[in-house]
DNA sequence: CGGTCTCTTGACGGAGTTCAAAGCTAGTGG
DNA sequence: CCACTAGCTTTGAACTCCGTCAAGAGACCG
């Protein structure tokens, strides 16, 4: 089982950095990573705890959210198969998590702890590069998302989101997509109705 | 002149990664970087062009913005002395810039082009690490900023901003701070009035 | 000074929220 | 296999925060 999961990760590495993985690097993964299974609603990262792992989703889906003073939650990131998810703030800084990561479906993930992450970066230059590119891409995408949040209305943001992530729209409940877009479920419902009428 | 500018960068590197710079690494910087001076309103990065440089501000200040369909601009990032600024989307991907970077004051910057950036990363492990940490921190901060944008009203966002960046509030025009926070100058003016009354 | 850019203030309008209720759907247990 | 429940989505009506339009005050620079 874990073999096919690692194959998915390797495939992801190759496509991300655009280079085949040298043969020598292949074996070491199974020593550094372990496999974990979650039920729907299981918590992968808990707010207030130190987050010591990052998760590569191989089956199912998860999302991260922040909880505000009123107790309301706000979706930050979704992760389907082939995505990494965690609280990188806590993971990198060693401070308490400010986000929660929760499974949306029965989920399988490859888990990498801090030490293994460090070791993977130190011993496999390809992995080091892979992770750097991932963060760079994530930063660039996030900056763009924020730019759009500040410059476009909810209808445009949803249109762009559903064009960019049709798979998310299919699998993720609408009230979470609303939260991700910074609006209420009622508003998204009306927006969808509006868009359906236009066509 | 460039000596003291590089000293500022070195100081920044040390504080970022929390390690002193090995003596051997010090000399190579002057070969890779060059100094450039900008007047107020000069353009460092132009939307639609390929962005081939990143800028380390040593004097003055700059900001980046995006221009929407209506021609309105939206501030993305501010950079005072000791900050890097550029269009990293364009710089990393090689595609046309989607942001503009403009000087807010007479500004001096150290300029690093793509080749020199690559060379700096390849030959100076300390610089490689420095830049990785910078991007990680930037990602984490941006994710938090977006979370706050989606969960708090304009008044709270401005309060937090002015607490976190009192230097920005002092030196950057109010209408740009409003834009950065995703609101109109008129609204920020009213918010400031409101906050002043509360005290 | 005179012009342009920035900030403030007022009145009105609109996108999205809140509150409430009803319909829908999927999962659970009898 | 159907019935029941809990959670999700939809819809309506009133409200609120922020945007828009407009005008004036203040600041900065040639």
To the question of pTM greater than 0.85 for the whole model, the response is yes
N-to-C CA span, chain B: 45
What CATH number was assigned to the domain covering residues A2-120? Answer: 2.60.120.10
B197: Cβ contacts below 8 Å, ≥ 6 apart: none
State both tokens at B122: 């390849």
Q: What average pLDDT does the structure give for chain A? A: 94
Residues of B in Cβ contact (< 8 Å) with A149: 146, 149-150, 182
Domain B2-114 has CATH 2.60.120.10: yes
Residue contact B151–A88, C-beta within 8 A: no
Summarised one tens digit per residue, pLDDT across range B70-95 is 999 999 999 999 999 999 999 999 99
User: What confidence tens digit (pLDDT) does each residue in A135-167 have?
Assistant: 999 999 999 999 999 999 999 999 999 999 999
What is the chain A residue with the closest CA to B184?
Answer: A150
Local confidence band at A120 (pLDDT 50, 70, 90 cut-offs): very high
Residues contacting residue B153 through CB under 8 Å, at least 6 positions apart? none
Contact predicate B66/B76, CB 8 Å? yes
Chain-chain contact of B142 with A146 (C-beta, under 8 angstroms): yes
Nucleotides of D under 7 A from a protein CB: 8-13, 17-22
Helix residue ranges, H only, chain B? 2-17, 23-26, 29-32, 88-93, 114-123, 125-151, 154-164, 166-171, 174-181, 185-198
In the predicted structure, residue A178 carries a pLDDT above the cut 90: yes
Task: Name the pLDDT band for B19 (thresholds 50, 70, 90).
Answer: confident
For residues A42 and A101, give the distance between their C-alpha atoms in angstroms, rounded to a whole number: 9
Question: What gap in Å lies between CA A45 and CA A92, rounded to an integer?
Answer: 14
User: What does strand D contact on the protein, if contact means CB under 7 A?
Assistant: A 173-175, 185-186, 188-190, 192-193; B 153-155, 182-184, 186-187, 191
Residue A147 sits at the chain B interface (C-beta within 8 Å): yes
Q: CA B156 → CA A148, B34, B138, B140, B188, distances in Å?
A: 20, 41, 21, 20, 11
Q: Does B95 touch chain A (CB under 8 A)?
A: no
Give the tokens for residue B58: 């040593």
């Amino acid at each position: 089982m874990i073999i096919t999961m690692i194959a998915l990760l390797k495939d992801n590495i190759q496509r991300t950095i655009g280079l085949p993985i040298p043969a020598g690097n292949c074996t070491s993964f199974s020593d550094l990573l372990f496999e974990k299974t979650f039920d729907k609603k299981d918590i992968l990262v808990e707010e207030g705890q130190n987050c010591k792992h990052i998760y590569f989703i191989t089956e199912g889906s998860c999302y991260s959210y922040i909880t505000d003073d009123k107790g309301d939650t706000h979706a930050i990131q979704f992760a389907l198969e082939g995505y990494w998810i965690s609280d990188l703030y806590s993971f990198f800084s060693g401070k308490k998590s400010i986000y929660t990561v929760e499974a949306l479906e029965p989920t399988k993930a490859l888990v990498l702890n801090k030490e293994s992450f460090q070791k993977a970066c130190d011993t496999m230059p390809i992995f080091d590069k892979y992770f750097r590119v991932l963060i760079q891409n994530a930063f660039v995408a996030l900056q763009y998302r924020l730019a759009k949040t500040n410059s476009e209305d909810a209808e445009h943001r949803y249109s762009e989101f559903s064009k960019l992530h049709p798979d998310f729209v299919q699998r993720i409940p609408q009230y979470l997509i609303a939260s991700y877009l910074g609006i209420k479920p009622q508003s998204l419902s009306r927006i969808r109705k509006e868009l359906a009428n236009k066509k």
